[in-house]
Protein backbone atom coordinates (compact mmCIF):
# COMPACT_ATOMS: atom_id res chain seq x y z
CA UNK A 1 0.00 0.00 0.00
CA UNK A 2 1.34 3.39 -0.91
CA UNK A 3 1.36 6.53 1.22
CA UNK A 4 0.57 10.02 -0.02
CA UNK A 5 3.48 12.46 0.19
CA UNK A 6 2.80 16.04 -0.89
CA UNK A 7 5.17 16.90 -3.69
CA UNK A 8 5.61 19.86 -5.97
CA UNK A 9 5.98 19.07 -9.67
CA UNK A 10 6.95 21.46 -12.42
CA UNK A 11 7.21 21.12 -16.19
CA UNK A 12 9.57 23.30 -18.24
CA UNK A 13 8.99 23.29 -22.00
CA UNK A 14 11.79 24.81 -24.07
CA UNK A 15 11.29 26.03 -27.63
CA UNK A 16 11.23 29.39 -29.42
CA UNK A 17 8.35 28.12 -31.58
CA UNK A 18 6.15 27.89 -28.46
CA UNK A 19 6.63 31.58 -27.72
CA UNK A 20 5.57 33.09 -31.00
CA UNK A 21 2.31 31.22 -31.27
CA UNK A 22 3.36 29.10 -34.22
CA UNK A 23 2.97 25.91 -32.24
CA UNK A 24 0.48 25.31 -29.44
CA UNK A 25 2.15 23.60 -26.50
CA UNK A 26 0.26 20.32 -26.48
CA UNK A 27 3.16 18.54 -24.75
CA UNK A 28 2.39 20.14 -21.38
CA UNK A 29 -1.30 19.14 -21.38
CA UNK A 30 -0.47 15.61 -22.47
CA UNK A 31 2.29 15.23 -19.86
CA UNK A 32 0.06 16.67 -17.13
CA UNK A 33 -2.69 14.20 -18.03
CA UNK A 34 -0.41 11.15 -18.06
CA UNK A 35 1.29 12.16 -14.82
CA UNK A 36 -2.11 12.76 -13.28
CA UNK A 37 -3.28 9.31 -14.34
CA UNK A 38 -0.20 7.89 -12.62
CA UNK A 39 -1.02 9.74 -9.39
CA UNK A 40 1.20 12.82 -9.79
CA UNK A 41 -0.29 16.34 -9.76
CA UNK A 42 1.56 18.98 -11.80
CA UNK A 43 1.69 22.35 -9.98
CA UNK A 44 3.16 24.56 -12.64
CA UNK A 45 4.52 24.61 -16.09
CA UNK A 46 6.76 27.15 -17.67
CA UNK A 47 7.48 27.75 -21.32
CA UNK A 48 10.67 29.50 -22.40
CA UNK A 49 12.69 29.99 -25.56
CA UNK A 50 15.97 28.36 -26.64
CA UNK A 51 17.89 30.88 -24.56
CA UNK A 52 20.72 30.07 -22.15
CA UNK A 53 19.84 32.62 -19.50
CA UNK A 54 16.14 31.77 -19.51
CA UNK A 55 16.81 28.05 -19.20
CA UNK A 56 19.32 28.61 -16.42
CA UNK A 57 17.01 30.93 -14.51
CA UNK A 58 14.07 28.53 -14.83
CA UNK A 59 16.22 25.65 -13.62
CA UNK A 60 17.32 27.68 -10.59
CA UNK A 61 13.77 28.76 -9.70
CA UNK A 62 12.44 25.24 -10.18
CA UNK A 63 15.15 23.70 -7.98
CA UNK A 64 14.18 26.07 -5.16
CA UNK A 65 10.44 25.43 -5.37
CA UNK A 66 9.92 21.90 -6.74
CA UNK A 67 10.72 18.28 -5.91
CA UNK A 68 10.40 17.02 -9.45
CA UNK A 69 11.19 18.92 -12.65
CA UNK A 70 10.36 17.57 -16.10
CA UNK A 71 11.93 19.43 -19.01
CA UNK A 72 11.32 19.01 -22.73
CA UNK A 73 13.06 20.44 -25.76
CA UNK A 74 16.41 21.63 -27.03
CA UNK A 75 18.02 18.18 -27.32
CA UNK A 76 18.35 18.07 -31.11
CA UNK A 77 21.70 18.05 -32.89
CA UNK A 78 21.57 21.58 -34.35
CA UNK A 79 23.19 24.64 -32.85
CA UNK A 80 19.95 26.14 -31.53
CA UNK A 81 19.62 23.05 -29.30
CA UNK A 82 21.43 24.17 -26.16
CA UNK A 83 19.71 22.35 -23.30
CA UNK A 84 22.54 19.85 -22.71
CA UNK A 85 25.14 22.63 -22.43
CA UNK A 86 22.99 24.54 -19.99
CA UNK A 87 22.36 21.41 -17.91
CA UNK A 88 26.14 20.85 -17.72
CA UNK A 89 26.63 24.39 -16.50
CA UNK A 90 23.79 24.18 -13.98
CA UNK A 91 24.87 20.81 -12.55
CA UNK A 92 28.58 21.77 -12.81
CA UNK A 93 29.50 18.80 -14.93
CA UNK A 94 30.77 18.22 -18.50
CA UNK A 95 29.77 16.36 -21.63
CA UNK A 96 31.28 12.90 -22.00
CA UNK A 97 31.02 10.43 -24.87
CA UNK A 98 28.64 7.66 -23.73
CA UNK A 99 29.25 4.28 -25.37
CA UNK A 100 25.74 2.98 -24.58
CA UNK A 101 24.14 6.08 -26.09
CA UNK A 102 26.32 5.75 -29.17
CA UNK A 103 25.34 2.12 -29.67
CA UNK A 104 21.65 3.10 -29.48
CA UNK A 105 22.31 5.84 -32.01
CA UNK A 106 24.08 3.45 -34.36
CA UNK A 107 21.22 0.96 -34.06
CA UNK A 108 18.70 3.72 -34.83
CA UNK A 109 20.54 4.72 -38.01
CA UNK A 110 21.34 1.16 -39.12
CA UNK A 111 17.67 0.21 -38.94
CA UNK A 112 17.01 3.05 -41.38
CA UNK A 113 19.86 2.02 -43.65
CA UNK A 114 21.85 5.26 -43.22
CA UNK A 115 25.26 5.95 -41.63
CA UNK A 116 25.65 8.06 -38.46
CA UNK A 117 26.55 11.59 -39.57
CA UNK A 118 29.08 13.75 -37.74
CA UNK A 119 26.30 16.06 -36.61
CA UNK A 120 24.53 13.14 -34.90
CA UNK A 121 27.67 11.76 -33.27
CA UNK A 122 27.27 14.62 -30.75
CA UNK A 123 23.99 13.06 -29.64
CA UNK A 124 26.01 10.37 -27.84
CA UNK A 125 27.69 12.99 -25.61
CA UNK A 126 25.91 13.28 -22.27
CA UNK A 127 26.48 15.17 -19.01
CA UNK A 128 28.77 13.03 -16.84
CA UNK A 129 26.54 13.06 -13.74
CA UNK A 130 23.25 12.10 -15.37
CA UNK A 131 21.64 8.70 -15.78
CA UNK A 132 20.66 8.29 -19.46
CA UNK A 133 17.06 7.42 -20.34
CA UNK A 134 16.60 5.48 -23.60
CA UNK A 135 14.75 7.04 -26.55
CA UNK A 136 13.03 4.36 -28.60
CA UNK A 137 11.88 6.80 -31.29
CA UNK A 138 14.80 9.15 -31.85
CA UNK A 139 18.44 9.99 -31.38
CA UNK A 140 18.41 12.14 -28.21
CA UNK A 141 18.72 10.33 -24.87
CA UNK A 142 16.70 11.55 -21.93
CA UNK A 143 18.63 12.48 -18.77
CA UNK A 144 17.87 11.93 -15.07
CA UNK A 145 19.65 14.23 -12.60
CA UNK A 146 19.50 14.01 -8.80
CA UNK A 147 20.81 16.93 -6.79
CA UNK A 148 20.82 18.38 -3.32
CA UNK A 149 19.72 22.01 -3.00
CA UNK A 150 20.86 23.88 0.10
CA UNK A 151 17.38 25.22 0.96
CA UNK A 152 15.85 21.70 0.86
CA UNK A 153 15.92 18.48 2.83
CA UNK A 154 15.13 16.12 -0.02
CA UNK A 155 16.95 15.58 -3.29
CA UNK A 156 15.46 17.27 -6.35
CA UNK A 157 14.90 15.11 -9.44
CA UNK A 158 15.31 16.85 -12.80
CA UNK A 159 14.51 14.96 -16.01
CA UNK A 160 15.28 16.29 -19.47
CA UNK A 161 13.40 14.84 -22.47
CA UNK A 162 13.20 15.60 -26.20
CA UNK A 163 10.56 18.10 -27.35
CA UNK A 164 9.38 16.10 -30.37
CA UNK A 165 6.00 14.80 -29.10
CA UNK A 166 6.43 11.35 -30.64
CA UNK A 167 9.78 10.85 -28.87
CA UNK A 168 8.77 12.48 -25.59
CA UNK A 169 5.55 10.48 -25.30
CA UNK A 170 7.24 7.11 -25.73
CA UNK A 171 9.98 8.08 -23.26
CA UNK A 172 7.51 9.31 -20.62
CA UNK A 173 5.35 6.20 -20.81
CA UNK A 174 8.07 3.57 -21.25
CA UNK A 175 10.70 4.88 -18.85
CA UNK A 176 9.99 8.08 -16.94
CA UNK A 177 6.65 7.25 -15.29
CA UNK A 178 7.78 3.75 -14.24
CA UNK A 179 10.96 5.27 -12.74
CA UNK A 180 8.95 7.97 -10.92
CA UNK A 181 6.56 5.42 -9.48
CA UNK A 182 9.52 3.58 -8.00
CA UNK A 183 11.16 6.73 -6.66
CA UNK A 184 8.16 8.63 -5.25
CA UNK A 185 5.45 7.10 -3.10
CA UNK A 186 2.02 8.21 -4.28
CA UNK A 187 -1.58 7.68 -3.20
CA UNK A 188 -3.77 5.44 -5.27
CA UNK A 189 -5.71 7.17 -7.98
CA UNK A 190 -8.00 5.08 -10.19
CA UNK A 191 -9.30 6.46 -13.46
CA UNK A 192 -11.84 4.95 -15.76
CA UNK A 193 -12.99 6.67 -18.92
CA UNK A 194 -16.26 5.88 -20.66
CA UNK A 195 -16.45 6.77 -24.35
CA UNK A 196 -19.69 8.16 -25.77
CA UNK A 197 -20.67 9.11 -29.30
CA UNK A 198 -23.75 10.79 -30.74
CA UNK A 199 -24.67 13.26 -27.96
CA UNK A 200 -23.29 16.68 -27.00
CA UNK A 201 -21.75 17.56 -23.62
CA UNK A 202 -24.60 19.78 -22.37
CA UNK A 203 -27.34 17.25 -23.25
CA UNK A 204 -25.32 14.54 -21.60
CA UNK A 205 -24.84 16.55 -18.40
CA UNK A 206 -28.60 17.22 -18.20
CA UNK A 207 -29.35 13.49 -18.45
CA UNK A 208 -26.63 12.56 -15.97
CA UNK A 209 -27.33 15.27 -13.35
CA UNK A 210 -28.95 12.99 -10.76
CA UNK A 211 -26.45 10.20 -11.22
CA UNK A 212 -23.60 12.71 -10.83
CA UNK A 213 -25.11 14.05 -7.56
CA UNK A 214 -25.19 10.61 -5.94
CA UNK A 215 -21.54 9.78 -6.71
CA UNK A 216 -19.50 8.91 -3.56
CA UNK A 217 -17.38 11.79 -2.22
CA UNK A 218 -14.10 10.16 -3.28
CA UNK A 219 -15.25 9.78 -6.90
CA UNK A 220 -15.25 12.74 -9.27
CA UNK A 221 -16.53 13.10 -12.83
CA UNK A 222 -15.04 15.07 -15.71
CA UNK A 223 -16.58 15.71 -19.14
CA UNK A 224 -13.87 15.65 -21.81
CA UNK A 225 -15.38 16.62 -25.16
CA UNK A 226 -13.69 16.08 -28.53
CA UNK A 227 -15.31 16.64 -31.95
CA UNK A 228 -18.06 13.99 -32.18
CA UNK A 229 -17.09 12.27 -28.93
CA UNK A 230 -17.52 13.01 -25.22
CA UNK A 231 -15.32 11.11 -22.79
CA UNK A 232 -16.62 10.72 -19.23
CA UNK A 233 -13.73 10.27 -16.84
CA UNK A 234 -14.36 8.91 -13.35
CA UNK A 235 -11.53 9.50 -10.89
CA UNK A 236 -11.49 7.72 -7.55
CA UNK A 237 -9.03 8.27 -4.72
CA UNK A 238 -8.23 6.01 -1.81
CA UNK A 239 -5.53 4.20 0.08
CA UNK A 240 -5.81 1.01 -1.97
CA UNK A 241 -6.86 0.24 -5.51
CA UNK A 242 -9.30 -2.62 -4.99
CA UNK A 243 -12.18 -0.88 -3.11
CA UNK A 244 -11.93 2.21 -5.38
CA UNK A 245 -12.01 -0.03 -8.45
CA UNK A 246 -15.14 -1.69 -7.10
CA UNK A 247 -16.88 1.65 -6.43
CA UNK A 248 -16.12 2.86 -9.95
CA UNK A 249 -17.32 -0.39 -11.52
CA UNK A 250 -20.62 -0.04 -9.64
CA UNK A 251 -21.09 3.52 -10.93
CA UNK A 252 -20.39 2.46 -14.50
CA UNK A 253 -23.06 -0.24 -14.25
CA UNK A 254 -25.57 2.50 -13.31
CA UNK A 255 -24.30 4.76 -16.09
CA UNK A 256 -24.76 2.05 -18.71
CA UNK A 257 -28.39 1.74 -17.67
CA UNK A 258 -28.96 5.48 -18.16
CA UNK A 259 -27.28 5.97 -21.57
CA UNK A 260 -26.78 2.53 -23.19
CA UNK A 261 -27.15 3.83 -26.74
CA UNK A 262 -24.31 6.37 -26.51
CA UNK A 263 -21.62 4.31 -24.77
CA UNK A 264 -19.38 2.50 -27.22
CA UNK A 265 -16.27 1.69 -25.23
CA UNK A 266 -13.91 2.71 -22.46
CA UNK A 267 -10.46 4.13 -21.72
CA UNK A 268 -9.75 5.97 -24.95
CA UNK A 269 -10.74 3.08 -27.17
CA UNK A 270 -11.62 4.38 -30.59
CA UNK A 271 -14.70 3.38 -32.55
CA UNK A 272 -12.46 2.00 -35.30
CA UNK A 273 -10.76 -0.30 -32.77
CA UNK A 274 -14.08 -1.49 -31.34
CA UNK A 275 -15.55 -2.11 -34.78
CA UNK A 276 -12.34 -3.83 -35.91
CA UNK A 277 -12.45 -6.09 -32.85
CA UNK A 278 -16.10 -7.03 -33.45
CA UNK A 279 -15.50 -7.80 -37.12
CA UNK A 280 -12.38 -9.79 -36.56
CA UNK A 281 -13.85 -11.81 -33.65
CA UNK A 282 -16.67 -13.00 -35.92
CA UNK A 283 -14.63 -13.35 -39.09
CA UNK A 284 -16.71 -10.67 -40.81
CA UNK A 285 -15.33 -8.42 -43.55
CA UNK A 286 -15.96 -4.75 -44.35
CA UNK A 287 -15.73 -2.29 -47.22
CA UNK A 288 -16.71 1.38 -47.52
CA UNK A 289 -18.09 3.57 -50.31
CA UNK A 290 -17.32 7.15 -49.39
CA UNK A 291 -18.42 10.40 -50.88
CA UNK A 292 -18.39 13.23 -48.31
CA UNK A 293 -15.97 11.45 -45.97
CA UNK A 294 -13.49 11.21 -48.86
CA UNK A 295 -11.58 8.19 -47.57
CA UNK A 296 -11.52 9.26 -43.93
CA UNK A 297 -13.43 6.17 -42.71
CA UNK A 298 -11.05 3.90 -44.64
CA UNK A 299 -8.15 5.84 -43.11
CA UNK A 300 -9.50 5.46 -39.56
CA UNK A 301 -10.00 1.73 -40.07
CA UNK A 302 -6.59 1.14 -41.65
CA UNK A 303 -4.77 3.07 -38.93
CA UNK A 304 -5.41 0.01 -36.76
CA UNK A 305 -2.70 -2.66 -37.00
CA UNK A 306 -4.11 -5.91 -38.38
CA UNK A 307 -7.01 -4.19 -40.18
CA UNK A 308 -6.07 -5.95 -43.41
CA UNK A 309 -7.59 -9.05 -41.77
CA UNK A 310 -11.13 -7.67 -42.04
CA UNK A 311 -11.02 -4.57 -44.24
CA UNK A 312 -11.00 -5.24 -47.97
CA UNK A 313 -11.00 -1.67 -49.19
CA UNK A 314 -13.00 1.31 -50.31
CA UNK A 315 -14.21 3.24 -53.29
CA UNK A 316 -13.98 6.97 -52.68
CA UNK A 317 -16.53 8.27 -55.16
CA UNK A 318 -15.99 12.02 -55.17
CA UNK A 319 -17.73 12.58 -58.49
CA UNK A 320 -21.02 11.35 -59.97
CA UNK A 321 -19.14 9.63 -62.81
CA UNK A 322 -17.24 7.49 -60.32
CA UNK A 323 -20.46 6.74 -58.42
CA UNK A 324 -21.90 5.44 -61.69
CA UNK A 325 -18.86 3.69 -63.18
CA UNK A 326 -17.37 2.14 -60.01
CA UNK A 327 -20.41 1.77 -57.76
CA UNK A 328 -23.13 1.12 -60.35
CA UNK A 329 -25.32 3.93 -58.95
CA UNK A 330 -28.19 4.54 -61.38
CA UNK A 331 -27.73 7.65 -63.45
CA UNK A 332 -31.48 8.43 -63.19
CA UNK A 333 -31.34 8.38 -59.40
CA UNK A 334 -28.41 10.81 -59.36
CA UNK A 335 -30.33 13.11 -61.71
CA UNK A 336 -33.67 12.83 -59.96
CA UNK A 337 -32.64 12.77 -56.27
CA UNK A 338 -29.06 14.11 -56.32
CA UNK A 339 -25.93 12.47 -54.91
CA UNK A 340 -26.91 13.40 -51.35
CA UNK A 341 -30.05 11.29 -51.11
CA UNK A 342 -31.28 8.17 -49.39
CA UNK A 343 -31.65 6.15 -52.57
CA UNK A 344 -28.11 6.92 -53.77
CA UNK A 345 -26.42 6.19 -50.45
CA UNK A 346 -28.33 2.86 -50.21
CA UNK A 347 -27.22 1.91 -53.72
CA UNK A 348 -23.63 2.80 -52.80
CA UNK A 349 -23.74 0.55 -49.71
CA UNK A 350 -25.45 -2.37 -51.43
CA UNK A 351 -23.21 -2.26 -54.49
CA UNK A 352 -19.86 -1.94 -52.72
CA UNK A 353 -20.89 -4.89 -50.54
CA UNK A 354 -21.60 -7.01 -53.60
CA UNK A 355 -18.60 -5.85 -55.66
CA UNK A 356 -16.06 -6.28 -52.86
CA UNK A 357 -17.69 -9.51 -51.62
CA UNK A 358 -17.85 -8.43 -47.98
CA UNK A 359 -20.28 -9.06 -45.09
CA UNK A 360 -20.81 -5.42 -44.13
CA UNK A 361 -20.55 -2.19 -46.08
CA UNK A 362 -20.74 1.48 -45.06
CA UNK A 363 -21.64 4.33 -47.40
CA UNK A 364 -21.69 8.12 -46.89
CA UNK A 365 -22.94 11.00 -48.98
CA UNK A 366 -23.28 14.53 -47.67
CA UNK A 367 -22.52 18.20 -48.10
CA UNK A 368 -19.38 18.79 -46.04
CA UNK A 369 -19.21 22.48 -46.95
CA UNK A 370 -18.36 25.29 -47.04
CA UNK A 371 -19.95 25.33 -50.53
CA UNK A 372 -22.59 23.13 -52.14
CA UNK A 373 -25.47 23.76 -49.74
CA UNK A 374 -28.98 24.67 -50.93
CA UNK A 375 -32.17 25.71 -49.12
CA UNK A 376 -33.46 22.13 -49.22
CA UNK A 377 -30.09 20.51 -48.49
CA UNK A 378 -28.01 22.88 -46.36
CA UNK A 379 -24.31 22.33 -45.60
CA UNK A 380 -24.12 19.52 -43.04
CA UNK A 381 -26.86 17.38 -44.61
CA UNK A 382 -25.53 13.82 -44.57
CA UNK A 383 -26.85 10.36 -45.49
CA UNK A 384 -25.26 7.23 -44.05
CA UNK A 385 -26.16 3.67 -45.12
CA UNK A 386 -25.12 0.24 -43.91
CA UNK A 387 -25.53 -2.92 -45.96
CA UNK A 388 -25.58 -6.15 -43.92
CA UNK A 389 -26.07 -9.77 -45.03
CA UNK A 390 -29.83 -9.31 -44.57
CA UNK A 391 -30.76 -5.66 -45.05
CA UNK A 392 -29.86 -2.08 -45.82
CA UNK A 393 -30.21 0.63 -43.16
CA UNK A 394 -30.08 4.35 -43.87
CA UNK A 395 -30.14 7.44 -41.67
CA UNK A 396 -30.09 11.17 -42.32
CA UNK A 397 -28.17 13.68 -40.18
CA UNK A 398 -27.87 17.43 -40.15
CA UNK A 399 -24.43 18.33 -38.86
CA UNK A 400 -22.91 21.82 -38.72
CA UNK A 401 -21.09 24.19 -41.01
CA UNK A 402 -17.48 23.24 -40.38
CA UNK A 403 -16.06 20.97 -43.10
CA UNK A 404 -13.52 19.07 -40.99
CA UNK A 405 -15.97 18.52 -38.16
CA UNK A 406 -18.65 17.31 -40.58
CA UNK A 407 -16.26 14.77 -42.07
CA UNK A 408 -15.25 13.56 -38.60
CA UNK A 409 -18.79 13.41 -37.21
CA UNK A 410 -20.07 11.52 -40.26
CA UNK A 411 -17.29 8.96 -39.94
CA UNK A 412 -17.89 8.43 -36.20
CA UNK A 413 -21.64 8.22 -36.62
CA UNK A 414 -21.23 5.65 -39.41
CA UNK A 415 -18.84 3.54 -37.34
CA UNK A 416 -21.18 3.64 -34.34
CA UNK A 417 -24.17 2.65 -36.50
CA UNK A 418 -22.13 -0.28 -37.76
CA UNK A 419 -21.07 -1.24 -34.23
CA UNK A 420 -24.69 -1.33 -33.04
CA UNK A 421 -25.75 -3.30 -36.09
CA UNK A 422 -23.07 -5.95 -35.61
CA UNK A 423 -24.02 -6.36 -31.93
CA UNK A 424 -27.79 -5.89 -32.00
CA UNK A 425 -28.60 -6.65 -35.63
CA UNK A 426 -31.36 -9.06 -36.60
CA UNK A 427 -31.35 -12.71 -35.57
CA UNK A 428 -29.94 -13.99 -38.81
CA UNK A 429 -26.68 -12.11 -38.25
CA UNK A 430 -26.66 -12.70 -34.53
CA UNK A 431 -26.84 -16.44 -35.09
CA UNK A 432 -23.39 -16.18 -36.62
CA UNK A 433 -21.99 -14.99 -33.26
Q: Which of residues 193-232 bind a copy of itself (CB under 8 A)?
A: 193, 201-203, 205-206, 222-225, 227
Which of 120, 145, 284, 383 touches a copy of itself by CB under 8 A?
A: 120
| Strand ranges for 31-115 from DSSP E | 44-48, 68-72, 95-97
Supply the minimum distance, in Å, between the C-beta of residue 431 and a copy of itself: 26
Q: Count the residues of the shown chain that bind a copy of itself, applying the rule CB under 8 A.
A: 108
Binding mask 35-74 for a copy of itself (x = CB under 8 A): -x----xxxxxxxxx-x--x--xx--x---x---------
Q: Which is nearer to a copy of itself, 158 or 315 (CB)?
A: 315
Sort residue 134 into left (φ over 0), alpha (ψ -120 to 50) or beta: beta
Q: What's the min distance (Å) between Cβ of 426 and a copy of itself? A: 27
- Partnered with residue 68 across adjacent β-strands are 9, 157
Residue 176 CB, nearest distance to a copy of itself (Å)?
Answer: 16
Nearer to a copy of itself, 127 or 163 (CB): 163
Query: Which lies closer to a copy of itself via its Cβ, residue 3 or residue 20?
Result: 20
| Per-residue binding letters, 345-374, with a copy of itself (x by CB under 8 A) | ----------xxx----------xxxxx--
Which residue number, 359 or 425, has a Cβ lying nearer to a copy of itself? 359
Query: Which CB atom, from 278 or from 425, has the smaller least distance to a copy of itself?
Result: 278
Least distance in angstroms from the C-beta of 256 to a copy of itself: 21
**Among residue numbers 159 through 198, which ones bind a copy of itself (CB under 8 A)?**
164, 166, 191, 193
Q: How far is the CB of 270 from a copy of itself (least distance, A)?
A: 12
HSE-CB at 164 with a 13 A cutoff on CA atoms is: 15
Q: Which is nearer to a copy of itself, 107 or 155 (CB)?
A: 107
Residue 375-404 contact track with a copy of itself, rule CB under 8 A, x = bound: -----------------------x-xxxxx
The per-residue DSSP string of 131-193 comes to: EEE--TTSSPPEEEEEEE-TT-SSEEEEEEE-SSHHHHHHHIIIIIHHHHHHHS---EEEEEE
Q: Are 15 and 45 in contact (CB under 8 A)?
A: no
Question: 89-118: which residues touch a copy of itself (CB under 8 A)?
Answer: 111-113, 117
For a copy of itself, the binding residues in 262-321 under the rule CB under 8 A are: 268, 287-288, 290, 293-299, 301-303, 305-308, 311-319, 321
Cα dist. 173→34, 370, 415 in Å?
Answer: 8, 40, 29
Q: How far from 201 is each of 85, 225, 227, CA to CA, in Å? A: 47, 7, 11
| Residue (of 2, 131, 158, 129) closest to 67 by Cα position | 158
CB atoms within 10 A of CB 44: 13
Which letter does DSSP use for residue 265 in this model? E
Identity of the residue, 93 or 208, whose beta carbon is nearer to a copy of itself in the bound complex: 208
Which residues, other chains included, contact 63 with Cβ-Cβ below 8 Å and sequence gap of 6+?
A: 69, 147, 149, 156, 158
Output the smallest distance, CB 418 to a copy of itself, in A.
Answer: 16
Q: Which of residues 20-39 bind a copy of itself (CB under 8 A)?
A: 20-26, 28-34, 36
- Alpha-carbon gap, residue 301 to 278, rounded angstroms: 13
- How far apart (Å, rounded) are the C-alpha atoms in residues 243 and 38? 18
Question: Is the CB of 48 or the CB of 425 nearer to a copy of itself?
Answer: 48
With CA atoms as reference, report the closest residue to 290 among 313, 307, 261.
313
Q: What is the DSSP letter of 116?
A: P
- Tell me how far apart the alpha carbons of residues 69 and 159 are, in angstroms, rounded to a whole number: 6
Is 147 among the residues that bind a copy of itself (CB under 8 A)? no
Residue 177 CB, nearest distance to a copy of itself (Å)? 14
User: Contact at 8 Å (CB) between 96 and 126?
Assistant: yes
Amino acid sequence: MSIFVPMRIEIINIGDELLIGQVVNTNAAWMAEQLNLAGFMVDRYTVIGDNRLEILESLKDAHVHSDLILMTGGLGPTKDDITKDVLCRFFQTRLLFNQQAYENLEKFFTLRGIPVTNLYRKQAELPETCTPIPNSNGTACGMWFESKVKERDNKVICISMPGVPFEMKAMLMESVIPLLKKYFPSQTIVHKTIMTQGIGESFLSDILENWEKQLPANISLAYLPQPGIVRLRLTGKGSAAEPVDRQITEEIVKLKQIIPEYIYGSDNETLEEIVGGLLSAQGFTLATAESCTGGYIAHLITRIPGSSGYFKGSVVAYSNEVKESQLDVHSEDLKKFGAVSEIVVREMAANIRRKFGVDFALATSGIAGPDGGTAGKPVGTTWIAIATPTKILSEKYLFGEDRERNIRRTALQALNMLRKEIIHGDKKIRSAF
